A = this chain, B = another copy of it.
């Protein structure tokens, strides 16, 4: 996995994509959320778009670039959420806002939200690619609130993952978004001992 970017130093939300590139990313994300990165070939992406592989390679030089671009786009959405939270000033308020908005994101984008969290290829990428590392550290910091011990880290780990997974869980497949949103917010608050 080659790890270079042409857009270093930018906020993820400042990265611009052409309409053609966006179409590639949409098709790729859909397939990757179903089959994972390794289980998704360029042929599959091209077929999903109704074009040939060569047309896809016009927009992105390598498969890696597509995976990086998808991760950037997903993180960009979380970046907005994170900045809204950090703007709260007080760490505990910030954490509450962050969790609240993460629930919104997860429920609104049930299929795609968990992709960057659980795919082994993207996990590797996040560990190797500096901008992703920096972003995740920021996210963890906000998720930890004011605490620092093992318990706080367990809370943060369980919450961030439970939200991502719950929205896709077979047991909850038939639950509508509104109900899921309300229940998830209640549970996250309860886990942290925040009054409901």
- What residues make up the interface of A, taking CB atoms closer than 8 Å to B? 34-39, 118-121, 136, 140, 150-151, 153-158, 160-162, 165-166, 169-172, 175, 179-180, 183-184, 187, 190-191
Chain B residue nearest in CB terms to A151:
B183
The smallest C-beta distance from A102 to any residue of chain B, in angstroms, reads 14
B140 near A156 with CB under 8 A, answer no
Neighbouring B residues of A170 by C-beta, 8 Å = 136
The smallest C-beta distance from A169 to any residue of chain B, in angstroms, reads 4
- Beyond A39-B120, A121-B39, A140-B171, whether A161 also contacts B154 by CB under 8 A is no
The smallest C-beta distance from A195 to any residue of chain B, in angstroms, reads 15
The smallest C-beta distance from A162 to any residue of chain B, in angstroms, reads 4
Neighbouring B residues of A38 by C-beta, 8 Å = 35-36, 38-39
A161 to B36, CA, bound (A): 18
Neighbouring B residues of A118 by C-beta, 8 Å = 118, 165
A187 to B187, CA, bound (A): 12
Q: Name 20 extra pairs, CB < 8 A, besides A37-B39, A38-B38, A150-B183.
A: A36-B39, A36-B119, A39-B120, A39-B121, A118-B118, A136-B170, A151-B183, A153-B171, A154-B180, A154-B183, A154-B184, A154-B187, A155-B187, A157-B166, A157-B169, A158-B162, A158-B187, A161-B162, A161-B165, A162-B165
Neighbouring B residues of A153 by C-beta, 8 Å = 171-172, 175
